[in-house]
Amino acid sequence: MTVLLCIVLSGLAFIDVVRSSSCSDSLNKIPYQIRLKETETGLQFNISNNSSDSWSLEVKQINGRTLQTRKKDYVRTFFNLTANNETNVLSFNVVKELDLEGFLKYIQIQISSIQLNFKCGVYDEREIAVLVGAVNEFAPYFKDRPYTYAMTEDKTNGTTIFTVPDHVVDKDVLRNGGFNYYIEQYKVQPSVDGRDYFQIKFSSSGLVTLKNSIDFDDLYRRGKPTYFMLNLTAEDTTNLKSWTTLNVSIIDVDDQKPMFSMCVPPCQKAQYRTNTQVGYRGVLGIKPMEVFAKDPDTFNNSIVYTLEPVPYQYASAFSIDSRTGEITQNLNVLDAGVLIIKATEDSAKQLFDDATLLVTLGNGTSVTPPPVGKSVNDDTGNLKLVIIILAVVSLLIIIVIIIVFVVYHKKVAKAVRPADDGKEGSADISHSQNWQAMNSGSKTELLASDMLNPALMATPDGRGNTLLPLTKDSATGTGKKRSRRRNRNKEPEIFDGTREYEGKLDMEFFTDANTKSKIKQSTRSRDTKTDPKYWITIPNDDE
């Protein structure tokens, strides 16, 4: 029995020895190191294998460090170990790219090497190192692009305005060398290409510097854009490139002092002149033009004018309007002199320039001030306008008054004009003396009475103790008939006792009983027959 047990144990030991010898042969065929690019996949080796051998693969370390099981299990998914019992071949494959950027993202490790442990059977094993090489997969990348930068026009040549490397990243984990930076042509709008003003002097530095100074005011006057576009380029060692733009806008600064309008470059100092009198008071006339200064900066500031108190006694006789520049003489000036006019910008920098004013006395020049107490710039235009308006208004008032007067006069004339006498009765003679004179028939009494009194014979109304007015035809007894149209267009002449007419009174008309005259009361009446009630019969003295 004992002998049988020994035989069995010896057989098992022989089998283990045989198996161990087989695993050792297979493990010896596995290389100690494998170099891979992070983008490589596929079969790495094939070795002969005993179909009875049992194989396993595990991740021992990453970059020489033992990691958590979770992270090791994640890395293990990139490899595959397969034993084919039919062909007795053991195969090792990389089934996924060993993407370094992916490892950095998911397990936060920048992998360079992986230690793998191959195990055959129970006791035999072998560790190998898989070295992962970086591949330049990605071009440089501009973060937060595009870019803008505002710079003032007073920057000097060589000034750095932008550092490109601060804005460039590479998605590759292990970058093979640095980047080079360039400014290339801006083809979208060539007129704003900024290569004439900016440069990257050293490509490896990536510093954008000012090559030529920029004058904002000059660009503005010429109608040019006040900004420039730079086409920035970043390139890695494998010639992978990336582009973006940098918009550089130019800002105007207060960098120019005021300039007097009469002083055109190359004029160095503006010089004015004036002529005055000793006792003159008022604004001075300035030649060759009025005092005026302007800030030549595009977005200019207002100007404040002052007179420099040098010499004080002479300058104190004058004053200047701080906004308009008008110079006024306030005191007597006994001799000629020079005033200094200062024009200062109303700004933080208060840049300024000055000009001289030569003051002479007398009429030796054409620059003569206005009469004493008058200003050169007295604006008489408003006074003339007021006078013209008043004259027109007065003329209109006079015309209205004349029209009202004429209308009123016509109304009054119509009111006092006698009515058609043909419709009125005979004269109303109420005075008793007049009736007695008529009844007596005495010529002497009739003349003595009021009946023949010219002052009482004709009044506009013909009422009371007066006679109705007589027309020219009835007075002369002609009895001529006028046309209706003429009578309609022209009023008949009225003998109302207030007008004088040529000729003498025919007394026989009143004394001759045989001759009877007709007095027609209305020339408008169509009836040519005379109504007896309109007759006046004067008795003869003989009767």
Q: How many CB atoms lie within 10 A of CB 164?
A: 25
Q: What is the pLDDT of residues 480-507, one digit of tens each?
A: 445 555 555 555 555 555 556 566 656 6
Least Cα distance to 39 among 135, 175, 176, 138 occurs for 135
Average pLDDT of the residues in 417-436: 48
Residue 315 confidence (pLDDT): 85
Q: If we measure between CA atoms, which residue out of 354, 345, 341, 259 comes closest to residue 302?
A: 345
The CA distance from 126 to 120, in Å, is 9
Mean pLDDT of 496-523: 56
Percentage of the chain modeled with pLDDT above 70: 67
Is pLDDT of 274 > 60? yes
Helices H, strands E: what count in the chain? Answer: 12, 27
Q: How many CB atoms lie within 10 A of CB 532?
A: 7
**Cα–Cα distance between 502 and 227 in angstroms, integer?**
107
| Cα radius of gyration (the chain) | 67
pLDDT digits (tens, 9 = 90+) for 95-111: 999 999 889 888 888 89
In angstroms, how far is CA 424 from the centroid of its own chain? 85
Q: Given this model, what pLDDT does residue 509 score?
A: 59
pLDDT band at 196 (very low <50, low <70, confident <90, very high): very high
Q: For residue 267, what are its two tokens?
A: 């004029």
Cα angle 259, 260, 264 (rounded to 5 degrees) comes to: 80
Is the pLDDT confidence value at 47 over 80?
A: yes
Greater confidence, 371 or 264?
A: 264
DSSP run (H or E) holding 133: strand 124-133
Buried/exposed code over 438-450 (b: 16+ C-beta within 10 A; e: otherwise): beebbbebbeebe
Looking at residue 44, its amino acid is Q
Of the chain, the end-to-end C-alpha distance in Å amounts to: 224
DSSP 536: -
377-385 mean pLDDT: 63
What backbone phi and psi angles, to 5 degrees, belong to 151? -130, 145
Contact assessment for residue 23 and residue 53, using Cβ atoms and an 8 Å cutoff:
yes
Which among 338, 321, 371 has a CA at the least distance from the CA of 272? Answer: 338
pLDDT at 445 > cutoff 70: no
Does 232 score more than 50 pLDDT? yes
Amino acid at position 440, single letter = S
**Residue 446 vs residue 417, higher pLDDT:** 417
Nearest to 27 by CA among 47, 44, 54: 47
Range in 7-16, 245-254, 308-317, 500-509 with the lowest mean pLDDT: 7-16
Phi, psi of 316, rounded to the nearest 5 degrees: -70, -15
Mapping DSSP to helix (H, G, I), strand (E, B) and coil, where does residue 55 land? strand
pLDDT one-digit tens code per residue, 58-67: 999 999 998 8
Can the peptide bond before residue 288 be classed as cis, meaning omega within 30 degrees of 0?
Answer: yes
Does pLDDT of 35 surpass 90? yes
C-alpha 352 chain-centroid distance: 30
Identical fold for domains 19-133 and 141-251, yes or no, is: yes
d(CA 117, CA 72): 12
Least confident of 85-89, 118-122, 514-518: 514-518
Choose between 495 and 157: higher pLDDT. 157
> What is the mean pLDDT of the segment spanning 155-180?
87
Residue 474 has pLDDT above 60, yes or no: no
pLDDT class for 348, splitting at 50, 70, 90?
confident
Write the CA distances from 328 to 114, 139, 321, integer angstroms.
96, 74, 8
The pLDDT value recorded for residue 172 is 84
Q: Which residues are CB-neighbours of 252 under 8 A, at least 6 positions away?
A: 153, 216, 217, 220, 297, 298, 299
Average pLDDT over residues 247-254: 92
CB 319 within 8 A of CB 327: yes
Question: Strands 147-152 and 470-471: what pairing?
Answer: unpaired
CA atoms of 102 and 108, how far apart (whole Å): 9
Distance CA(47)–CA(28), nearest Å, equals: 10
DSSP for residue 193? B
d(CA 184, CA 195): 8
Tokens linked to 398: 């006079």
| In the chain, domain spans | 19-133, 141-251, 266-361, 379-416, 422-534
Contact 466, 458 (CB under 8 A): yes
Q: CA 354 to CA 392: how far, in whole Å?
A: 50
**Per-residue pLDDT tens digits for 324-346:** 999 999 999 988 999 999 999 99
Which DSSP category does 262 fall into?
T
Residue 373 has pLDDT above 70, yes or no: no
pLDDT for 385 beyond 90: no
- What CATH number was assigned to the domain covering residues 141-251? 2.60.40.60
Tokens 């297979």 found at: 26
Degrees, nearest 5: CA angle 75-79-81: 140
Q: What is the pLDDT of residue 9?
A: 46
Q: 266-361 belongs to which CATH class?
A: mainly beta
DSSP 61-87: EETTB---HHHHHHHHTTEEEEEETTT
CA distances from 127 to 68, 92, 312 (A): 19, 14, 103
pLDDT for res 263: 81
How many Å apart are CA 215 and CA 155, to the nearest integer? 10
State which fold the 19-133 domain adopts. Immunoglobulin-like (2.60.40)
Least confident interval from 65-74, 148-157, 350-359, 451-460: 451-460
At 480, is the secondary structure helix, strand, or coil?
coil
On average, the pLDDT of the chain sits at 78
